[in-house]
Homo-oligomer: A and B are copies of this chain.
Amino acid sequence: MDDFDKRKFNEVEAALNTLGEKAFRAVFLNLLRFDQTVIYANVQPDEREVINRFLTIEELCKIFDALEVEEMETIRFLKEMTPRLASAILSDMYMDNLADLLGRMSRSDLATYLNLLPKEQIQEVRELLNYHERTAGAIMTTEYISVNQNETVASVMEIVRKRASQAEIIYYVYVEDETEVLVGVVTLRELIMNDDSLTAKQFMKTNVFKVLVEDDQEIVAQRVKEYNFLAVPVVNTTDHLLGIITVDDIIDVMDEESTEDYSGLAGVKVDGDEQSPWISALHRMPWLLTLLLLGMSTASLINHFDSLVSQASILAVFISLITGTAGNAGTQSLAIAVRKISVQNYHKIWKIIRNEVITGIIIGVFAAISITIIVELWKHSLALGMVVGISMAAAITVANLAGSLIPILMDKIGVDPAVASGPFISTLSDLTSVLIYFSVAQIFINSIM
């Protein structure tokens, strides 16, 4: 919470503790939903208990629908309540949020709460729970509006009006034929602009943009971003409508995916709340110490070439220049490859790798020429310059290969490519760069001395 939020929070907390139910409701219900959730999640448990009494089930349910704290937190809030109140709230929540929440519960909690729900809802939740994580099915909601294609504008509007309080989005109405196959979509905009007696079939858009229930959420987000929709329908392979995904969920997916890519590149989770330095250190340490061990192989490789360094200590001067430059180039390739993997078809992937390697060769040659000239001017040794130059060109090319190949291989074997982080690639590239450098130096050692 920043300062402004904290002031607001203190005001409402004071109102909760000093004013009665009516006055508190007046203050609290005038807040924006997001602010309500922040306050609800941050008051003391006994204060939350008072809020639970002061608000109606519908009001509490809206807060639970909007709560964006960790699911574990939300489950804790439910456990603070009587099972009766908890089940009343759960059965009023939007299906996608409910499924999200139940999906995170322990088996015993899940059994408890599932049993408290109305029978028909249990069935629906079970279905949503069975869709694979990170697919369209897992993030869709089943609260949408659909009508038969022969309904008139007047009757569709009547349906919209009736469903308006429950449906998550009412601005699209999906149109089905007699066999319940999705055949069209009409917008609320079109409904209020068209004549009451027209049927949906007469003005619906038949080229419906839709996604399959098993589609990856990242692909869905990419598509929605391109096509600028407020919601997309989710269908099965026989084109029957199963649910919709709304733009706010798409935004969450985009945010999640971009944070993941970014975290991967940095080799650190960036989405944690403010943490104490101890906890931050604890989170970063395992990865850094793993890389330290990988770095030890580079150290023992240099150790292996100890006699070479003893003969020509000048070689030590260029170690960090070569490993650094190759590491930088490899990180660039990695970033490009990770981004392209997520939106490309598989058969394009070899093209990505090929392009990165060729790019590496071009950059490598230019870097090699530059450094050869610099070393020649500085140390008056063309041989040394060429050793450094050739090594650098080769090291950059190998780093680009590793930077693009490794995340792609990881993706192929089903591991999140973001694990092949920037620090990992640059530490690995240190190893190959040193190997290349000293091998080249070994060949030319007589010219250097």
Residues of B near A68 (CB, < 8 A) are 226
Residues of B near A70 (CB, < 8 A) are none
Chain A residues bordering chain B, tally (CB within 8 A): 110
Q: Mark A307-325, 1 if CB is under 8 A from B, else 0.
A: 0011001111111110111
Contact A335 B263 (CB under 8 A): yes
Interface: A255 (CB within 8 A): yes
Shortest CB distance A223–B (Å): 9
Residues of B near A427 (CB, < 8 A) are 324, 328
Q: Mark A244-263, 1 if CB is under 8 A from B, else 0.
A: 00011011101100110111
Q: Which of A306-365 contact B (CB under 8 A)?
A: 306, 309-310, 313-321, 323-325, 327-329, 331-332, 334-336, 339, 344-345, 348, 355-356, 358-359, 362-363
Q: Mark A179-209, 1 if CB is under 8 A from B, else 0.
A: 0000000001100110000000000001101
Residues of B near A336 (CB, < 8 A) are 266, 268, 270, 280
Cα-based distance from A310 to B309 in the complex (angstroms): 8
Q: Mark A272-302, 1 if CB is under 8 A from B, else 0.
A: 0011111011001100110110011011101
Instruction: Give 3 nearest A-B pairs by CB, closest first.
Output: A266-B335, A258-B258, A277-B358
User: What residue in chain B is nearest A157 (Cβ atoms)?
Assistant: B192
Interface: A444 (CB within 8 A): no
Shortest CB distance A437–B (Å): 10
**Given known A-B contacts A289-B366, A299-B321, A228 and B255 have beta carbons under 8 A apart:** no
**Given known A-B contacts A189-B164, A227-B34, A306-B317, A285 and B366 have beta carbons under 8 A apart:** yes
Interface: A2 (CB within 8 A): yes
**Given known A-B contacts A192-B161, A225-B255, A230-B247, A359 and B266 have beta carbons under 8 A apart:** no
With most chain B CB atoms within 10 A of its CB, the pick from A160, A209, A228, A291 is A228
Contact A292 B371 (CB under 8 A): yes
Q: Mark A219-254, 1 if CB is under 8 A from B, else 0.
A: 000000111101000000000000000011011101
Contact A295 B325 (CB under 8 A): yes
Contact A281 B335 (CB under 8 A): no
Q: State which of A25-33, A45-53, A405-413 sits at the interface with chain B.
A: A25-33
Cα-based distance from A319 to B430 in the complex (angstroms): 11
Contact B426 A277 (CB under 8 A): no
Shortest CB distance A367–B (Å): 6
Shortest CB distance A414–B (Å): 22
User: What residue in chain B is nearest A275 (Cβ atoms)?
Assistant: B355
Contact A226 B34 (CB under 8 A): yes
Cα-based distance from A281 to B325 in the complex (angstroms): 14
Contact A430 B363 (CB under 8 A): no
Contact partner of A325 (CB less than 8 A), chosen from B170, B288, B374, is B288
With most chain B CB atoms within 10 A of its CB, the pick from A276, A280, A285 is A280
Shortest CB distance A167–B (Å): 9
